[in-house]
Amino acid sequence: MTPLERALRERIRVEGAISVDAFMHACNSYYYATRDPLGRDGDFTTAPEVSQMFGEMVGAALADCRKRGGAPADAIYAELGPGRGTLAADALRVLCSAGFRGEVHFVETSPVLREVQAEAIEGALWHDSVEDLPAKPLLLVANEFLDALPVRQFVGGVERRVVIAAGGLAFDRDGEVVEDSPARAEAVAGVARRLVEKGGAALFIDYGHATSAPGETLQAVRGHHFAPVLDRPGEQDLTAHVDFEQVARCARDAGAAVSAVVSQGKWLIRLGIEARAQALSRANPERADDIEAALRRLTSPDEMGTLFKVIAIHSPQWPAPAGFA
Ligand code: SAH
């Protein structure tokens, strides 16, 4: 039994059954606080860890937006859940070569990952939540952040809970599941309010669906394989598909302008990732096969290209980010 499972069983004995979002919150807080889960030796690999081209396209999109937004001197680069800081390093290289000189702010709760990020990005500043970001124009990105935030599950309108049954953790009811996520709504609304007040643009990239639909999407990944959700609490990554229709609604309700939801593949291609891959291959012919494979992994419909989606939210005073029309 994992240490967290022991603690959760005790909590259930004292408090009674716990909601799915409380379970997911407890598991992911423990999981991220105790390890760097990214990469081949970890549990999963994300787009910025596949290739520098991903972060470069994010940087190009934000640099273009910044310029068309009047390049305010107090604009900051902000990232939610920056992982190893790889995306920030690649994006900031492009942003800085386009004249960006602003501060770098990270929203990250894991002390282990904060240390890894500090190695990657000199002078970064950390916050525990979106609400703590400074009141300045934002150039913000969040890749695979929303999927890690807790979801609630409902079966027949009743909230699903985790109980102890037959000596193990179990769900208290089965049936057609509907999910929602107050934690995501709060994070998106927090970013949107900042954008409306101070200007700027934000990109949210994640796997999920463009329109709301019922269905259970909560999943666990460990060592690059799916595992049962209730197995080994705190030792595997719990995520759920992002409902981009809900993201758009939250941002709009807070007064922000919202882009269409586009697939990661289309978005990267519109931003010029194919030309970037060619240039990289010309400069590093010995790596041409790897670069081609990474391009395919990021953009192909049978890899990350279609499952992953991108949405931009921005201040109504700012121009819309490129790549969505
Ligand atoms: N964006 C990175 C890492 C994705 S993993 C990449 O694409 O490689 C999820 C990230 O979100 C980790 O950095 C994790 O520590 C962070 N995270 C998870 N839940 C969080 C929360 N509630 N508040 C802040 N950061 C969180």
Ligand 1 centre from 145 Cα, in Å?
Answer: 5
Question: Does the pLDDT of residue 224 top 90, yes or no?
Answer: yes
Closest ligand 1 atom, residue 144 Cα: 4
Mean pLDDT of the chain: 97
Instruction: Report which residue type is found at 239.
Output: T
Measure CA 71 to chain center: 26
**Nearest protein CA to atom 14 of ligand 1, as residue:** 81
325 pLDDT band, cuts 50/70/90, is: confident
Residues 6+ positions from 165 with CB-CB distance below 8 Å: none
Can you say whether the dihedral through the CA atoms of 154, 155, 156, 159 is positive or negative? negative
177 pLDDT band, cuts 50/70/90, is: very high
Question: Does the pLDDT of residue 237 top 90, yes or no?
Answer: yes
**Nearest protein CA to atom 2 of ligand 1, as residue:** 83
Instruction: Note whether 184 and 242 are within 8 A (CB).
Output: yes
Closest ligand 1 atom, residue 38 Cα: 8
pLDDT of residue 296: 98
Helix (H, G, I), strand (E, B) or coil at 101: coil
At residue 6, φ and ψ (nearest 5 deg) are -60, -45
pLDDT digits (tens, 9 = 90+) for 290-303: 999 999 999 999 99
Residue 320 structure tokens: 């819309």
Ligand 1 centre from 83 Cα, in Å?
Answer: 6
Mean pLDDT of 181-198: 98
pLDDT of residue 167: 85
pLDDT of residue 121: 98
- Dmax (CA) of the chain: 63
Question: What one-character DSSP code corresponds to residue 38?
Answer: B
**Nearest protein CA to atom 6 of ligand 1, as residue:** 83
pLDDT digits (tens, 9 = 90+) for 82-111: 999 999 999 999 999 999 999 999 999 999
Ligand 1 centre from 203 Cα, in Å?
Answer: 15
Other CB atoms within 10 Å distance of the CB of residue 74 = 12
Helix (H, G, I), strand (E, B) or coil at 92: helix
Mean pLDDT of 310-325: 96
- The C-alpha atoms of residue 304 and residue 273 are separated, in whole angstroms, by 14
Exposed, middle or buried, 19 (CB in 10 Å: 0-12/13-18/19+)? middle
Residue of 32, 53, 115 with the most ligand 1 atoms within 8 Å of its CB, for mutation: 32
Give me the DSSP letters along 301-316.
Answer: TTTTTTTEEEEEEE-T
**Nearest protein CA to atom 24 of ligand 1, as residue:** 108
**Nearest protein CA to atom 22 of ligand 1, as residue:** 149
- The C-alpha atoms of residue 211 and residue 232 are separated, in whole angstroms, by 32
Ligand 1 centre from 107 Cα, in Å?
Answer: 8
Other CB atoms within 10 Å distance of the CB of residue 220 = 21
**Nearest protein CA to atom 5 of ligand 1, as residue:** 83
Ligand 1 centre from 79 Cα, in Å?
Answer: 10
Task: Provide, rounded to the nearest whole percent, the portion of the chain with pLDDT above 70.
Answer: 100
Residues 6+ positions from 12 with CB-CB distance below 8 Å: 18, 162, 163, 164
pTM recorded for the entire structure:
0.98
Residue 135 structure tokens: 């009141």
**Nearest protein CA to atom 17 of ligand 1, as residue:** 81
pLDDT digits (tens, 9 = 90+) for 129-176: 999 999 999 999 999 999 999 999 999 999 999 999 988 999 999 999
pLDDT of residue 79: 99
Residues with CB under 6 A from ligand 1: 28, 32, 38, 46, 48-49, 81-83, 87, 107-110, 113, 143-145, 148-149
- The C-alpha atoms of residue 70 and residue 247 are separated, in whole angstroms, by 27
Mean pLDDT of 210-238: 96
277 pLDDT band, cuts 50/70/90, is: very high
